[in-house]
Structure 1
């Protein structure tokens, strides 16, 4: 369903800007809202439902991961992290919090296992290691709220 941006209310535009726009697929000339596999009508069996991610919930899950990695028989030798903000899988408002805390957990685990931790970012990562947190707002600046 196509909706003209000019017909949207300011709160709707703010919510849309929080998700941002993504290319539908490589080589496509279309942009979609970055919601990942959250369309109920998709053909993916691995669909992810949109949800609000609470920082306390994230912290609890990271603590559980830390406990798991501290108590395994052998320490991990390679960990791959997928930021996955561009496709909407990781919520844009909390990706930096999640990534920072996850790297902290991995550093803590490395110290526990008396290992060094080398963090390497893919050279083609959009926005580089710092990410691109302002990208959805940079292209579509919205008016400031009254009193903000």
Structure 2
């Protein structure tokens, strides 16, 4: 019994969160406003410099919207059924995926690789280069296309 108790305490101490200050960084939380009539939101990406944050929300009447926060304000744009925001870069370029297997960056479709039936984008950098997958292959879509 003593061995089990000691092992349990040891494992629990490994799982205990380390305060941010102990890890050498300091976190600051900021409340993000929601547009009038938005009842739910989920953050899905942020620019590396923290200048833009993107997410998906549900607005009244019942419809999905992409939410883009920048400088303390938020913009809301309707999404087509099955679409959701994936990421954003420091210039505010938004990456969108859909349940139909399509991805777009700044309104420009990211085409599936030849022979693949879908494109799914995961992240983009400040030059617009986007990574994700197409079929069963890792894909990189070069920047400068939107």
Q: Which bracket does the TM-score occupy, shorter chain normalised? A: under 0.3
The TM-score normalised by the length of structure 2 is: 0.25
Higher helix share: 1
The TM-score normalised by the length of structure 1 is: 0.25
Higher strand share: 2
Structure index of larger Rg: 2
